[in-house]
Amino acid sequence: MAVRRAFLFSSDRSTYWLCQVFGWLSMVVIEMINYSFFIVKSFSVQVLYFFLVYAIEGIILMEIYRRVILRYHLFDSSISYIWLYAFISTLIVSFIMTCITQIPLIVFIRRIDWNEWTLISMVGNTINWMRYIGVWIIIYFMYNIIQQKNTIQSEKLRAENLAKTTELELLKLQLNPHFLFNALNSIKALVTINPEQSREAIVQLSELLRFTLQYGRELLIPVHHELAEVARYLELEQMRFGKKLQVEYDIADAVRQRLIPPASLLTLAENAVKHGIAKQTDPGMIRISITEEANELVKIQVINPGIYDVSNHRGIGLQHLAKRLEEVYQGRAIFHIHQQGSQVSAILCIP
């Protein structure tokens, strides 16, 4: 319905009527020049009146033709059918135009020239009017076909964006239970080790859960908001691991207000604890750095002790992070994990 009515109910109606009037007046000018300079080589006011009447008849006829097209939803058909219809209707409309151009002769001259109604004469006049009717139909049809194509393309883009947005929201909803599961595992271990600290850990967890519920509604958040939650999460884990877990931050002031996908750094921090610190027997350091690189890229790097296992990269948290980056940045974000000596380095670069 939107495709079919795009032209009829758009702001281009005024442009349509301007083109109608200008086009038919151009016909008058062309025919008067042809008549005055090449046929009789003299100017005739009466002939000018006739051509002006022809122009008015043409405007009325083509408006009726346009309404018939829109009524029967022609532009919902296939391209081949549309152009076949255009060719046939050009012949028919041109013949009708040939017939109604005799009306001014009957009205003003009050006689019928039967020579104008012979088969050869009617065919010749029909072909002559096809020059103007055909151009009108070709321009009008091409405009509507282009409008239809643009509308379909816009609808397709809207549908794709809706699908991507829906997928992104589903990824966020899936990440919340994943994070909650990891956090509860930490508190479960802490309850056994230190019941007093477990109370404080529950408070920290409640703040983290508030954050995860809020970021599910947002596409991007400032870096400093994400850092605050990461610090809270790592404090929660430090209650569990004690001196075994140490944290070092290197955050450039220029990036604190930059926007990043929520829980992106938090996911990397979780991964560093789960696959790095938790598997170490000796104390380990998690280093978090966020800097601004060339081309206005924000570089997030999380380094933790351990040996990089490729299978860990297929964990649900990292999988969701990679999918969210693709949905938001369309391939412009860079994310990879590699072994760096005795440490594992996770690097995320986003626009």
SS3 readout for 298-337: EEEEEEEECCCCHHHHHCHHHHHHHHHHHHHHCCCCEEEE
309 and 274 Cβ atoms separated by less than 8 Å: no
Asked if residue 2 belongs to a domain, the reply is: no
Count: domains in the chain: 2
Domain C-terminal end among 157, 184, 206: 157
Of 136, 157, 178, which residue sits at a domain end? 157
What's 318's domain CATH number? 3.30.565.10
Contact 93, 61 (CB under 8 A): yes
Rounded Cα distance between 126 and 123, Å, is: 5
Q: Is the same domain home to 36 and 126?
A: yes
pLDDT tens digits for range 263-310? 788 888 888 888 888 888 888 899 999 998 877 889 999 999 888 877
- CA 39/CA 61 separation, integer angstroms: 27
Residue with tokens 């990891």: 182
pLDDT of res. 173: 47
Given a contact cutoff of 8 angstroms between Cβ atoms, the answer to whether 207 and 236 are in contact is no
Are 152 and 208 found together in one domain?
no
| 332 in the same domain as 221 | yes
User: Do the beta carbons of residue 221 and residue 259 sit within 8 Å?
Assistant: yes
Nearest CA to 90 out of 120, 75, 69, 119 is that of: 69
Domain holding 96, by residue range, is: 13-157
pLDDT, residue 271, reads: 85
Q: What's the whole-number average pLDDT of the chain?
A: 80
Q: Is the pLDDT of residue 172 over 90?
A: no
For range 114-142, the mean pLDDT: 86
Are residues 214 and 238 in contact, defined by beta-carbon separation less than 8 angstroms?
no
Instruction: Give exposure, 90-121, as e/b (b: 16+ Cβ within 10 Å).
Output: beebbbbbbeebeebeeeeeeeeeeeeeeeee
* Among 224, 227, 221, 349, residue whose Cα is nearest residue 294: 349
Which range of 245-254, 266-275, 315-324 scores highest in mean pLDDT? It is 245-254
Instruction: Tell me what pLDDT residue 311 has.
Output: 65
On the question of pLDDT at 92 being above 50, the answer is yes
Q: What is the 3 state secondary structure string of 255-311? A: HCCCEECCCHHHHHHHHHHHHCHHHCCCCEEEEEEEEECHHHCEEEEEEEECCCCHH
Residue 239 confidence (pLDDT) above 70? yes
Q: Which of 144-158, 171-185, 245-259, 264-278 has the lowest mean pLDDT?
A: 171-185
The phi and psi torsions of 263 (rounded to 5 degrees) equal 70, 10
Quick one: pLDDT at residue 116? 61
- Helical (H) or strand (E) element with 196: helix 195-215
105 and 208 in a common domain: no
Choose between 181 and 249: higher pLDDT: 249
Kindly tell me if the per-residue pLDDT of 118 is higher than 50.
yes
Residue 230 CA to residue 224 CA, distance in Å, equals 10
